Amino acid sequence: MTNNIIEFLAHWGITALSLWVAGFVFHGISFSNKQSLFISALLLGLANAVIRPVVILLTIPLTIFTFGFFLLVINALMMLLVSSVVSGFKVSGFWTAFFASIFIAVLSFFVGLFIFQTSDNPIVIPAHHGMFI
């Protein structure tokens, strides 16, 4: 049970870190304070765990028709939903949410690789020892 709590806190921290960095990269994303950042990270994780699967299920035909690219739209909509609920979290529009959600997903993935590094991790990043591989 302790591992579940630690893993939850780690994912929450990764999401908060990714949102914070996205606030610097995308000028259309802002947080009024640390509290709004952490609440946004928590609610984004909750929305992605609860609401997003239902929306994906309801939009399967559209997702198949667009070869999965509609999932990017769903990610942006989850970010816009969270920004509409959290008063200190502002996203300027759909396209900001669209590109920021891609950025956040990629950044969270790579940060998670380093934090959750295990011996059975299928992705191995080789060490770079010189100018050329």
pTM over 0.85: no
pLDDT of residue 122: 55
Q: What is the pLDDT of residues 75-99, one digit of tens each?
A: 999 999 999 999 999 999 999 999 9
pLDDT of residue 88: 94
Number of neighbours of residue 87 by Cβ within 10 angstroms:
10
Contact criterion met (CB below 8 Å) for 34 and 52: no
Reported as a pLDDT band with limits 50, 70 and 90, residue 132 is very low
Q: What is the pLDDT of residues 52-80, one digit of tens each?
A: 999 999 999 999 999 999 999 999 999 99
For 23-34, the DSSP string reads: HHH-TTEEESSH
